[in-house]
Amino acid sequence: MSNNKHLLTEKWIEAVPNFSEGRNNDIIEAICAEIENQPDVYLLHKDIGYDAHRTVITFAGKLEQMEKICFNVIQKAAQLIDMRRHQGTHPRQGVIDVFPLIPLGTATFQDAIELSKRIGQRVATDLGIPIYLYEKSTENANRNRLEQIRKGEYEGFKQKILQPEWKPDFGLPKFNEKTGNIIMGARDFLLAYNVNLGTNDVQTAKNIAGVIRESGMHGKKGKLVGVKAIGWWVEEWGISQVSTNITHFRQTSIFDVFDTIREEAKNVGIETLGSELIGLIPLEALTDRHFEPEAAIKYLGLESFRPFNPKERILEWNLSEQIANRKR
């Protein structure tokens, strides 16, 4: 890790916006163009989901550059994506469903919180898109979680935004039909991680998700703290998945999630067919059980359906390599 001095001695912010577009490559590339070749900003990864009709783009930059770049990215998405025509399997409520900001290096959560508020105010004022703050950027316990705000999705927000308790943090309480809303805030690392099941029965995936997620199912608390999960169908591969968000990977590791889902699947006579990571992962999360990264990748089956290049998918390795390459 000696080549990560750039991360450790300066203030960096990682952004992981989730765009409601996974089928038009021209739109995705136009959004990426707002990030590429900018001073002290690096496009780290894009994960395009056709069935979900959703693309997760990960980029990082020095703190002082990120307000401008994040605004430009949102502006471009608002120009090119029309929520009135959007359909997909993943829950969503705007052209950018959620826009997380994560502090890296010497940046603090307060830095990320203040950045989210500056961006949110500007987007609401200049673009007319309602902004909801979440996670560490809000003190409202009734609407600090993504699923609380997103409930009802795009279609339900036309009425939801009129309710006094759902007045946006920035912008008018008026539904923007073309763009929907954006949820933005500072948070810790989140692992978007899906486990593949050897069955075409989506209900089995939903049942397993209900057993393992912290919120549980039918009034019964789930097995894994800090884990959100749903079950769904992946048309591209012809399988069901348990799709999870691991919100506290130091408390519940990616290995804990994989092992628990595998055990639950085994209990109903189903095999797991490896797993899938969306976006990037901190090195610490992949070496939690003292695995070397390559051994962890094999254990989790992260290459079951598509390649997994650790130099691209491990956050620190990716960013350090890009910084080094640009200096050459």
Residue 328: DSSP 8-state: -
Tell me what pLDDT residue 8 has.
53
Asked if the model's pLDDT at residue 2 lies above 60, the reply is no
| Residue 287 neighbours by CB under 8 Å, 6+ apart | 293, 296
Tell me what pLDDT residue 6 has.
45
Pairing of strands 96-105, 54-62: unpaired
* Class of residue 31 by CB neighbours under 10 A (exposed 0-12, middle 13-18, buried 19+): buried
Q: Given pLDDT bands bounded at 50, 70 and 90, which one contains residue 1?
A: very low
Q: Given pLDDT bands bounded at 50, 70 and 90, which one contains residue 87?
A: confident
CB distance 197 to 268 below 8 Å: no
324 three-class SS:
helix
Predicted confidence (pLDDT) per residue in 266-298, tens digit: 999 999 999 999 989 999 999 988 899 999 999
Tell me what pLDDT residue 3 has.
41
Q: Where are the beta strands (DSSP E) in 235-327?
A: 239-246, 272-278
Q: Which domains does the chain have, with CATH numbers?
A: 2-186 (3.30.990.10), 191-318 (3.30.70.670)
Q: Given pLDDT bands bounded at 50, 70 and 90, which one contains residue 63?
A: very high
Q: Which two tokens stand for residue 1?
A: 């890790």
Helix (H), strand (E), coil (C) string for the chain: CHHHHHHHCCEEEEECCEECCCCCHHHHHHHHHCCCCCCCEEEEEEEEECCCCEEEEEEEEEHHHHHHHHHHHHHHHHHHCCHHHCCCCCCCCECEEEEEEEEEECCCHHHHHHHHHHHHHHHHHHHCCCEEECHHHCCCHHHCCHHHHHCCHHHHHHHHCCCHHHCCCECCCCCCCCCECEEEEECCCCEEEEEEECCCCHHHHHHHHHHHCCCCECCECCCCCCEEEEEEEECCCCEEEEEEEECCCCCCCHHHHHHHHHHHHHHCCCCEEEEEEECCECHHHHCCCCCCHHHHHHHHCCCCCCCCCHHHHEHHHHHHHHHHHHHC
Asked if the model's pLDDT at residue 89 lies above 90, the reply is no
Report the alpha-carbon distance of residue 140 to residue 195 in Å, rounded. 32
Q: What is the mean pLDDT of residues 83-108?
A: 93
> Model's pTM, two decimal places?
0.85
Pairing of strands 131-133, 182-186: parallel
Q: Given pLDDT bands bounded at 50, 70 and 90, which one contains residue 244?
A: very high
CA dihedral 79, 82, 86, 89 (to 10 degrees): 30
Predicted confidence (pLDDT) per residue in 137-170, tens digit: 999 999 999 989 999 999 999 999 999 999 999 9
Predicted confidence (pLDDT) per residue in 106-119, tens digit: 999 999 999 999 99
Catalytic residues: 90
Asked if the model's pLDDT at residue 261 lies above 90, the reply is yes
Q: Which two tokens stand for residue 220?
A: 């019964």
Q: How many Cα atoms sit within 13 Å of 274 on the Cβ side? A: 14
Tell me what pLDDT residue 129 has.
98
